[in-house]
Amino acid sequence: MTVKVLVCDDQALVRTGLAKLLAATEDFEVVGEAPNGSVAVDLALQLRPDVVLMDLRMPVLGGIEATARIRATGAAQVLVVTTFGADDYVLDALRAGAGGFLLKDALPEELRTAVRAVARGDCYLDPAVARGIVDAAVRRGRGSRSTSRALGRLTARERVVLQLVASGLTNREIAEELVVSEATVKSHVGHLFTKLDVRDRVQAVVFAYEAGLAGPDDPGSA
């Protein structure tokens, strides 16, 4: 399957470099480029790419708001590509609906892997800065009444599934771990999204960190 990509970055050299790198790969098609978030939103609606590579700090419209608008329309998945380490700013982008994030100094193959993962609807968190994302999530969630209330709506099995999702396991791997069908896991995950009021696996992972159900020392955690 060819993955259609829209590249959004206010730095022309970075934008062109990312576009050329992906265009040279057989299973990618770069359908457009945008110099800011406002143009990215418009092009996402027009071109319907599979993934938007989104910078964060841009003029006119920043990456967080652009991500929220794109995800609200369902026009595309979003992969944040940033120059700086994880902090609350990047966490906000994930909560806005981004499917993951990657540093701009990542290797080309890491970029390709991240784009493919986000295109499938999976979560991709750059391991170089994942600890910062976790720490920011924990700081926000510690003592939060809304987090505690949402967690209280989950059944014991749903909590286990949430922990496994936060560990980076796919539905198939969770099914093998719990010795149930993949359809059953898919049902549990759907219930999680509804009860926690999250859009996707990335936001579910962030919630798990906030609730203290996952952490950077857990096996397989992002």
Q: Can you give the three-state secondary structure of 130-155, one letter per residue?
A: HHHHHHHHHHHHCCCHHHHHHHHCCC
Q: Which of 10-19, 96-105, 108-117 has the lowest mean pLDDT?
A: 96-105
Confirm or reject CATH 3.40.50.2300 for domain 3-134, answering yes or no.
yes
Chain centroid to CA 86:
13
Nearest to 197 by CA among 132, 151, 156: 151
Return the amino acid letter for 34: A
Q: Which of 10-19, 83-92, 119-128, 179-188 has the lowest mean pLDDT?
A: 83-92
Which architecture characterizes domain 142-210 according to CATH? Orthogonal Bundle (1.10)
pLDDT at 90: 72
Q: What is the pTM of this model?
A: 0.74
* Rounded Cα–Cα distance for residues 204 and 189 (Å): 9
Burial of 203 (0-12, 13-18, 19+ CB in 10 A): buried
Nearest to 38 by CA among 71, 61, 11: 61
pLDDT in tens, 32-87: 999 999 999 999 999 999 999 999 889 999 999 999 999 999 999 999 998 865 55
CA 207-164-123 angle, to 5 degrees, is 65
* Rounded Cα–Cα distance for residues 91 and 105 (Å): 19
Alpha helices in 12-155 (DSSP H): 12-23, 37-47, 63-73, 88-95, 108-119, 130-141, 145-152
Asked if domains 3-134 and 142-210 share a fold, the reply is: no
pLDDT in tens, 127-179: 766 666 666 665 665 556 677 788 889 999 999 999 898 877 888 999 999 99
Per-residue CA distances from 148 to 12, 16, 97, 141, 153 (Å) = 44, 45, 22, 9, 9
Return the amino acid letter for 86: A
Return the amino acid letter for 31: V
Domain spans, the chain: 3-134, 142-210
